[in-house]
Chain A
Amino acid sequence: MLRFLWGLLVGGSAMLLLIRVKEGSITIPWYGWIIGIITFLLATLTLQTFIASFQEREPKAAWMSLLFMGVPTFILATITFLTIR
């Protein structure tokens, strides 16, 4: 179920982004795409680790993964948004 919701969210966001790029209402430089893809992969890994760690009954690992992987994800996401014109 969570995978389905994540897929729905990612698919919807990607579609919206591509429509707006095609319309010309926003432009993203090449390095923005690269950082954006890395951000997406890291965000997916962070979310999966966070949820799976609770399923593994390792709550400390869950919160630590959010700290060690979530913070870089947030910074990268901010950089990605700053590249959008």
Chain B
Amino acid sequence: MNQTNIKKTNYHSTVSSKEHMSNLGKASGVTDLEKKYNDLDDMIASDPGRRLPFWVKEVDKPTVEIDWELLDNFPSMYQTCFNPEVYGEKEYFQLCDNQREYNVEWMKNKVPGHSIQDNAIAHASNWLWKGFEIPWTGPRWETDPLHQVYYTPEEFGVPRYEGTPEQNARLIRVAARVFGSPDVGFVKLTDKTKKLLWKCIRFENVEEGYDPGDGTKVLPDKDLWVICSAMPQSLVFGKSTSDSNWAGTNGLAYSFTKIYSGRMLSFLRSLGYQSYGGDMDVLGSAVGFGVMAGLGEYSRMGQMISPFFGSMFRTNLLIVTDLPLAETKPIDAGMLRFCKTCKKCARNCPSGAITHKDEPFWGGDDPWHNKGIKGYYIRGRVCFSYMFKYPTNCGTCQTVCPFNKMDKAFIHKLIKISISYLPIFNKFIAEMDDLFGYGLEKTETSLMWNRNPKDIPLYGLDESRF
């Protein structure tokens, strides 16, 4: 390699992409190709920025129409349609009790996919999801200094990490991959985007946020960014919503999210910055922030769908930080437009809770609706009442979505390109998806126990999607 091209720093050397390609052209040998990363700075320098395929376009406004004047902060996650306050605690817990009875009955009757081992893996996967709360400002074990989760630069007596917003964004993206999120986006909290936070989040003129313990949470009134992290879910085990493995893959993804959250919160504190969040439901609208961050588009089933993982990722974990981050824009891959003609989730919804209307509409009729979003509002009570008639809940809408593919077949990419650029073929693509048998309930997950263990992807996460 031509030594004059190398820019030396204290820790690593960098070359521009032009110089790197030029050096490759000189057949400089394997040392150029086997690039080693000495530290995180080196990884950042190697490839800054989010790389999206050409058919995923970054746009200034999300594809779902939002009236920011009309939009108001939603009270909290307890008012969303899958939670007790909408039903009243008595009715909600009656539904839970009914589900428990169904569970026992199906186990006793040896319904395929509901054996004792199927139930065991489903219930074990839930461990850590509930019953363990991460504090608002992140985990910390004060009692054991040897095993403290994070040491801040202040404690070490060194200056905190400093970088440009682009470098910081790249740093978080790298850390997210290490901790287990395949895709992240960043939203700055402005007067608009603050409306996506729950109403119970307050801003005060304080140096650091805190948890007053009265059900509200306090953030400092300063420049803040939201890190949105897509959390992976197994498509392999998630293909049959009637099996306990479905519940298992949900629980596994949620409990994994909690571990991820603790790690990312600690990482930010260790860099010398503030971090807030903890659990997956304490900050605000996962779909709203995910759409604004460009992780995906709003869809007919009311969830966010990703151009890479479809609807088969569990949640968008939100973490607030004062580390300056380069914002990511909303995306347009033609997915919401595809939803208008596809309707596969609505056609397959066993409860009929998903609307068949062609065009999205302004909500506000039910308590769990948020005014100001022109979307496809589901009939929450109908959906939830049906879900609890089955031991494993129901996720049919999520399972049948045509954007859920393992991505081993190259044709899936061609179809995504068509959806992005040639909407005239959308109806044909939706019909072919049915004809090819995609999204049908698969019973093979119940036979998981007979598979060669080495054929089961680690955590059920197939490498073609992540």
Contacts and interface: CB of A to CB of B under 8 A. Distances in A.
A25 interface: no
A27 interface: no
A61 B408 contact: no
Interface string B425-466: 000000010011110101010000000000000000000000
A24 B410 CA distance: 38
B114 interface: no
Contacts of A45: 410-411
Contacts of A48: 409-411
Contact of B405 (A56, A60, A64, A68): A56
Q: Which interface class (under 10, 10 to 19, 20 to 34, 35 or more) fits B?
A: 10 to 19
A60 B436 CA distance: 6
Contacts, number: 41
Chain A CB within 10 Å, residue with most, of B236, B410, B436: B436
Given A56-B405, A57-B442, A57-B444, A64 B410 contact: no
Contact of A61 (B410, B437, B442, B444): B437
A65 B436 contact: yes
B409 A53 contact: yes
A52 interface: yes
Interface in A26-69: 45, 48-49, 52-53, 55-61, 64-65, 68
Contacts of A52: 408-410
B95 interface: no
Contact of A55 (B408, B432, B444): B408
Give the interface SS of chain A, mostly helix, strand, loop or mixed: helix
Contacts of B436: 58, 60-61, 64-65
Contact of B437 (A49, A55, A64, A68): A64
B369 to A, nearest CB: 36
Contacts of B408: 52-53, 55-56
Contact of A64 (B406, B435, B440, B442): B435
Chain A CB within 10 Å, residue with most, of B239, B409, B437: B409
A60 B278 CA distance: 43
Contacts of B406: 55-56
Nearest to A44: B410
A48 to B, nearest CB: 5
Nearest to B439: A58
A65 B414 CA distance: 14
B437 A65 contact: no
Nearest to A60: B437
A65 B411 CA distance: 10
A68 to B, nearest CB: 8
A64 B444 CA distance: 20
Contacts of B411: 45, 48-49, 65
A55 B236 CA distance: 11
Contacts of A49: 409-411
A49 B438 CA distance: 14
Given A56-B406, A60-B437, 13 more contacts: A45-B410, A45-B411, A49-B409, A53-B408, A53-B409, A55-B406, A56-B405, A56-B408, A57-B239, A61-B438, A64-B436, A65-B409, A68-B432
Query: What are the 10 closest A-B residue pairs judged by CB atoms, nearest first?
Result: A60-B437, A52-B409, A52-B408, A61-B436, A56-B406, A64-B436, A49-B409, A55-B408, A49-B411, A56-B408
